[in-house]
Chains A and B, each alone.
Chain A
């Protein structure tokens, strides 16, 4: 009974905190002003905000709620507090939410695998050694050529072993430089594990988060553009590739665990690439967030020092919550 009550209380705390933080993030994220941040920074911040409710709820539950219950809840069989209707209902809610999240992840993975398997019929590895620079040769091993008509022009598929699929028409349509830069764009997505991030979003759905996900998606595209481009020539080649591949209409909608090359606002991306400023990238590269390390260290020290008091407070909150 003690263990069951502990699980119910922990799940209750988790679901309440998750819903509160999710609602807060869904409302507050639009107020962010990130005028001087890089697109990589913006994408990272938006991703962080999107998963903050889940990550914070899990961390608080395991770091505070479970230990506080274990240490401070009386185990005596004389005091039988019972399960309580609220923890039971909210605990079931949390379980349903977790199962629903798992189901969404599995369904997305299965659908992606099915669609990709169809695209890959008759596919073979593409010899891109001549196209891709030496620094990216390892990643280039993961490029596969698809000849199926319904395959997208250029897309990154898969989570654990991501690979880039490229269609016959893309190879025919793009020049050598355009193909190289377009592949580098997809490799940038591969490096930042964007498919995995999309799958994490599937696990923690919440009403009102779609716009945040869409903003992250656009920022991730711009970040991949930035990562791929290193000169104005590259920028123009990438813009040209983007316009050319936009004309290839996909036969079917892309599944969740894929990142297509032609995604987001094409006109905004092209306009940004044509206004490329080589100095900007150098300036932005110099900025490093070293100040976060001492700040994190101080925060961790504070948590360690006040951990006992925090456990007591958490226990009081859980007691209040379940009664």
Chain B
């Protein structure tokens, strides 16, 4: 998730700091929680007020929903990790496509990036295939040598 946020940091969705990401991860794992419950879990080592400010900031950024529970609030993530990832990626692509004067130009960057990614992936696959082929050849040679030795001994 950290990678996604850092990659798409320039999108219109507010960029998240490391502690905000940690709190969001914690809320995803718990489903919903109050500030006290987040602290009680023992994985967040910050002051109560710091955590409260952070969840409040996440709520204002539109990433959390909250309902009052006594004097406190119970916070729930508004999006699943997958939804947030998709949303962020879509927003970044939309921004990229709308960034140039000529509408086809950003699209060509995207196609180029995808093509180079594909080519890189194919190069890696080709390397794996060649390595396997070499392994097979050497194994074959080894078996041949072994059987030739056995014949000589007989």
Chain A positions near chain B (C-beta within 8 angstroms): 232-233, 236, 239-240, 243-244, 246-247, 266-267, 270-271, 274
Are the C-beta atoms of B136 and A232 separated by less than 8 Å?
yes
Determine the interface band of chain B, counting residues with CB < 8 A from chain A: 10 to 19
Closest to A276 in B: B132
With a CB–CB cut-off of 8 A, which chain A residues contact B136? Answer: 232-233, 236
Q: Is the CB of B133 within 8 A of A270?
A: no
Taking CB atoms, residues of chain A closer than 8 Å to B125 are 239, 243, 246, 266-267, 270
**From residue 125 to 153 of chain B, which have CB atoms closer than 8 A to chain A?**
125-126, 128-129, 132-133, 136
What A residues does B122 contact at CB under 8 A? 243, 246-247, 266
Q: Does B1 contact A (CB under 8 A)?
A: no
Please classify the interface of chain B as helix (H, G, I), strand (E, B), loop, or mixed, using the class held by over half of its residues.
Answer: helix
A236 touches B121 (CB 8 A): no
**What CA separation (Å) do A266 and B125 show in the bound complex?**
9
Q: List 9 A-B contacts (CB under 8 A).
A: A236-B133, A239-B125, A243-B126, A244-B126, A247-B119, A266-B125, A267-B121, A270-B125, A274-B128
List residues of chain B with CB within 8 A of the CB of A274: 128-129, 132
Roughly how many angstroms separate A233 CA and B139 CA in the complex, as a whole number? 12
Which residues of the other chain, A, contact B126 by a CB distance below 8 angstroms?
Answer: 240, 243-244
* Residue of B121, B125, B133, B136 with highest tally of chain A CB at under 10 A: B125
B146 to chain A, nearest CB (A): 18
User: Chain A nearest CB: distance from B126 CB in Å?
Assistant: 5
Chain B residues near A243 (CB-CB < 8 A): 122, 125-126, 129
**How far apart sit A244 and B136, CA to CA, in the bound complex (Å)?**
19
CA distance A244 to B133 in the complex (A): 15
Residue from B118, B121, B126, B129 with most neighbouring chain A CB atoms (10 Å): B129
Of A233, A236, A247, the contact of B129 (CB 8 Å cutoff): A236
Residues 58-74 of chain B: 1 if any A CB is under 8 Å from the residue's CB, otherwise 0?
A: 00000000000000000
